[in-house]
Structure 1
Amino acid sequence: MPAYDIQDADLRGMSSSQLIVLYRQRGYSIREILGVMAIRHGKITSERSIFRVLRRYRLTRGQSQHSLEEIIQEILLELSASGENAGYRQKHQRLLINHGLAATFEMVRLILGLIDSQCAALRQAERLRRRIYINNGPNFAIHLEFWDKLKPYGLSIHGAMNGFSRRVLWLKCCDSNTKPMYISSFYLDYIREINGIPVRVYGDAV
């Protein structure tokens, strides 16, 4: 069995499916994945379930990983949003959790080095540029957030926070975080409540 080269901190918040994909990418066999899921994570699963997950992420024999174009496109989206300063390990996890894309750590590292070489050099030198956050007062800027860890069960969480006071503006559960009818209805309810509109709205690309 490959050595435990993945730190527990890197696995925090990951679902069983995401853990299976991660261990498969690290070279674990099906039987080894069964063992490490039970021993390390206390998750009992079956070979059939593992094969089903690997088929979904194109990691079974005879299938390739997601295309390089897909991976680069999602990395560019992450760079334009909240993942600007994230390193390749965190980018790898974001690709898997936020976008359902399977890629190796090495592939993500090489892509970041090519398309974001300046930030990669700053991360290596531990001299990251911190973005300046400006908020002029209540209702000036709000932040939207989506939580998809319960998506396999048909539950998606949508929330928003006031950037000035950190007050939770809404926290809703629905069947999708990408349908405009849900996002727009939550936003419209909020602007009716405050009888105005925020100057800025921040959120991840969807």
Structure 2
Amino acid sequence: MRRRKDYSDLLDVAIFIAQQQQTAGKLHGYRWMHLKCLQNNLRVPRDSVYEIMKLLDPGGMAARRRQRLKRRQYVSKGPDFVWHIDSYDKLKPYGIAINGCIDGFSRNIMWLEASTTNSDPKVIAYYFIQAVRRKKGVPKRIRTDMGTENTHVEQMQVFLRRNHQDELSGQKSFLYGKSTHNQRIEWFWGCLRKKVGQFWMDLFQNLSSDNESTSFCGTFLDKSLIQFCFIKLIQKDLDELAAMWNTHTISSSVNRLREGNRPLMMYTLPELFGCENQLCPVNTHEVNLCEEETTPKPEHPCDDTVKELCFDIMEETGDVMPDNAFSAKELYLSLRDAILEQL
């Protein structure tokens, strides 16, 4: 055993962190940024990340320094005992709707999807069925709030659990409740806002405050263009957030295993924490039947007419799909001006 000394050059690390400060990364604390450095093949001590961020973003570091509240303990029998499903509406005024699901025991994210709606039961059911197909089973119980968007998930969960013999089979396998009781996913939305959501909210708010000729007014066209230009970038941020969240250390976890109390490890190796996986097997044919009643997420979540018009304009101007938030903003403004001139 020896202490790792093959650290990356601090200049490379500083450049990476400075680049992150130009994106949603400016919302990250030094622990999260340290993990992000490691996942981008930059080996650096956490203390060095802290000092670099103090130099590059002293205001942000000070703003994140706060007291924590002690909350009641959450108890679950193991992975896949309860899945918590909920929707995040902070970007909905701009046409972006987010839906997510988190495992109650491990806090492992089962899905985190951005689309044009989180109110269509068939769309939410599609996310659910895809997760069931990946996991080859359903959880013992699902908890959601009382929104109508969860009705299809309820019916499918009850249908797939109808022949199981445990005490939570059938109708008891789905539980409606207040949002305050859906604590696992509700807490995660606060993390999503701090790590990703606030960046996009600020960017879209700036669009709304521009001069009248280029501002976001909340019309059908504005929302469709936001979806066309930004939704894939937002989904990329969500995928990255989910990957980082699933591998970060849960410092407040009751099940302490040194560095092992990470969502992904707790989900895949519950025996290390004295628990067993609670996943319930399902019939593949029945899963296929359920999938026929869902609405898949399109490749370009946007109104079809607006989408075709945008691609036609981009072909004429030589523009390409953006790869960052600022080029997406330029494309949005360019497409909006071009379409309004034709009207």
TM-score, length basis structure 1: 0.35
Structure 1 or 2, whichever has the larger Rg, is 2
- Length-normalised TM-score, structure 2: 0.21
